[in-house]
Amino acid sequence: MKSRRGLSSVVGAVFAVIDLSTTIGYVTYSMNVLDKYNQSILATNANAVDRSKEQIQISHISIDSNKFNITASNTGSIPIHLTRFWITNTTDVGKVFRYDIDYNLAPGQSQIKIGQSLPIYAKSNQAYDLKLITDRGNIKEFNVNSVGSVPLNIQLLALPPTVASGFKTELVMAVTNNGTSTLTNLVPVLTQNGSPTATCTPDPISSPSIYDTLPPGNTAIFSWAVKITGTTDGQTCKFGAQLQNGYNNNFGNVTITENYVSLTSTSYAQNAGLLTMNYTLFKWTQGNQWNSGWEMPNGNPTAFSIKLTNNNSTQGTNFYISKNSFVLILRPGSANTVPFYIVQNVTVSSTISISSSQQYTSCPSNDWCANVPPNKSTTLYFAASGSGGSAVQKLPNVAETEASFLLLMGKFSATPGGSGSFYAQNLPYLAINIT
Amino acid sequence: MHSVRHDKRSRRGIATVVTSAILLTTVTLMGTGVVAWSNSNLFGHERVLESSYSTNINKINEYLTVENVWFGGIGPSQFVNITMNNPSTIGLNVTQIQLKTSTTSISQQFTNQPVLPKNSISVQFSYPYTSQVPVSIYITTARGSIFTTQALPP
């Protein structure tokens, strides 16, 4: 009886084991399904993240040999596989072309000449909608428009707008692509409008002569040098600039006005001042030390120190100063003038003196001893009573306010012995108060 | 007397056997019932889970991009051509394409328009578009996913 009673327990236990194992199996299965579900979600998310990480930049578009020449760069952080290329001609509606391509781009890598091997011809006077498709399904869409398909923001500026006769100004044409598509083949055309009263001669070709492409938001800058000549103030030339095969009536205008400069013996320096002096560095000495300021005792031997700047920026155009240059002191109401000729330097002790090596004749050519290089400054000394002399000039022996100016004669030349371009200029105005 | 005692003992033994048999039968029947019920129930849940899993996962993995849309034709023969690309790892079936503007809505039904994984298909059908009026495109798949894009007729 004992053994039969145990049989029921065994049978019950068997069923319990079956139920338990079924439940465990179900739970295990459920967890596996859940795990697979999670894995699938993760994989899907990873694909979505990868898709969002794909970045393609079109760094170049042009039409070469009547075919598209496109450079696409992978600017993202994951590899990209370009699988298809769509070309839709938006000028000639209904022409849609699809090409299978196979370009793998590692991050940072570029693929050049996309479109050069495709059997489609592109016309620079037509507009196209282009698409590159990746194997993850991303689409890089961009447009190629001819300049004649949309009006652009075109500005023409003269820098400066007013120039002296015989000088050049710069015409600057700024073309801003205010659209959303890349423009191709931008060639500027400059024309003179109306009836000019001055004579204007622009460069025949702009610099640069062409922009192959202009991405959206970018600006192309073209420039021409224009020489203007005239005979009276206010004469003008009018210019207009547009793009070759551009949108109708889409251009920029500018007027250049001529400022007539009379270069006479009395006005040359004021109009053509290539040399300037730094008034704040003007110094004088009558011995012991160099002094600033404009007041100096009368009747004493005196030397002046003046810092001169050569504003001519042309290389090789050093301004070599003639020994005949001087600071001239004019006594008001008197015919007497007192010149202080240029010297190479002065010796400043209790008095001032000019040694033989400091005279303006102690250089190889006996003249042109000092020079001011282009766009540089040099300190000059004026002290001699005669040209190239060693005697120190004295101030007038009266207490009065004098007018004075610096008269410079010289030449722009590469060497002291070169012929160069002779040039003279007076630099007003040194007011000296002799006490 | 002896025989009476013997009969009593044997009758008591039968009752025990019968009781044990009933007990065993009951345990067996109950166990079998519980096992059958639990198997049926759990397997049913497994099937539901599997079906739900595959439906949801496939729907999640389903992805479609509209590579290109172009409009062509003149007057009554105007049409739209839509190229769809399936970059995902599972196939899908396009059942409907709906084209909506601010004033019109046109649906095109498909009974069998499969797009295999990593493949694309183009469908073209009559569509009276208006130039420069944006069109919203809704593509519905057999699993109920909807993918949208917009296009501008020339």
Backbone angles phi, psi at A294, to 5 degrees: -115, 0
Statement to judge: residues A316 and A419 lie in one domain: yes
Cα separation, A404 vs A430, in Å, equals 5
Residue A279: is its pLDDT beyond 90?
no
Its ipTM equals 0.77
Question: How many angstroms away from the CA of B65 is the closest CA of chain A?
Answer: 6
Are residues A183 and A272 located together in one domain of the fold? no
pLDDT band at A112 (very low <50, low <70, confident <90, very high): very high
In angstroms, what is the C-alpha Rg of chain A? 42
Domain total for chain B? 2
Q: Are residues A275 and A244 in the same domain?
A: no
Per-residue DSSP letters for A220-256? EEEEEEEEEE-SSTT-EEEEEEEETT--TT-EEEEEE
Same domain, B37 and B99: no
CB B86 within 8 A of CB B115: yes
Answer whether residue A259 shows pLDDT above 50: yes
Q: Which residues of A92-111 are buried (b: 16+ CB within 10 A; e: fewer)?
A: ebeebebeebebebeeeeeb
> Residues 25 to 44 of B: which have CB under 8 A from any A CB?
27-28, 30-32, 34-35, 38-39, 42
pLDDT recorded at residue B96? 95
Is residue B95 exposed (0-12), middle (13-18) or buried (19+ Cβ within 10 Å)?
middle
Q: How many domains does chain A have?
A: 3
The answer to whether the CB atoms of A22 and B32 lie below 8 A apart is no
Cβ of A11 and B31 within 8 Å? yes
**Does residue B81 have a pLDDT over 60?**
yes
Shared-domain flag, residues B3 and B54: yes
Look at residues B38, B61, B84 and tell me which one is the last residue of a structural domain: B61
Beta carbons within 10 angstroms of residue A360's beta carbon = 28
Judge contact between B98 and B137, C-beta under 8 A: yes
The range of the structural domain enclosing residue A103 comes to 56-145
Rounded Cα–Cα distance for residues B116 and A237 (Å): 68
Q: Which residues of B touch A44 (CB under 8 A)?
A: 60-61
3-class DSSP state of B42: helix
Q: Are residues B81 and B145 in the same domain?
A: yes
Mean pLDDT of chain A: 84
What is the domain extent for residue B141?
63-151
Residue of A98, A97, A94, A130 whose CA lies nearest to B129: A94
Q: Angle of helix B2-61 relative to helix A2-53, nearest 10 degrees? A: 0
Asked if pLDDT for residue A30 goes beyond 80, the answer is yes
Q: What is the CATH number of the domain that holds A251?
A: 2.60.40.10
Instruction: Give the pLDDT of residue B8.
Output: 53
| Both structure tokens of B70 | 């172009």
Residue corresponding to tokens 């809704």: B138
Does B68 share its domain with B29?
no
**What percentage of chain A reaches a pLDDT higher than 70?**
93
**More confident site: A100 or A164:** A100
Please give the angle made by the CA atoms of B128, B131 and B135, to the nearest 5 degrees. 70
Show which of B19, B36, B61 is a domain's final residue.
Answer: B61
- H/E stretch holding B17 reads helix B2-61
What confidence tens digit (pLDDT) does each residue in B23-58 have? 888 888 888 888 888 888 888 888 888 888 888 888
Please say which residue of A222, A240, A259 terminates a domain.
A259
d(CA A421, CA A410): 8
A253 with A107, same domain: the answer is: no
* Shared-domain flag, residues A301 and A334: yes
Domain boundary among A117, A145, A173: A145
Residue A99 clears pLDDT 50, i.e. is over it: yes
Q: Cα separation of A423 and A61, whole Å? A: 53
Could you tell me if A409 and A290 lie in one domain? yes
Question: Chain A partners of B46 at a C-beta cutoff of 8 Å?
Answer: 26, 29-30
User: In this model, does residue B97 exceed pLDDT 50?
Assistant: yes
**pLDDT at site A103:** 95
* Judgement on whether residues A420 and A363 belong to the same structural domain of the protein: yes
Cβ-Cβ contacts under 8 Å, B154 against chain A:
90, 93
Is residue A220 within 8 A of residue A175, CB to CB? The reply is yes
| Preceding peptide of A216 cis, ω within 30° | no
Same domain, B74 and B124: yes
Q: Identify the CATH number of the domain in which residue B113 sits.
A: 2.60.40.10
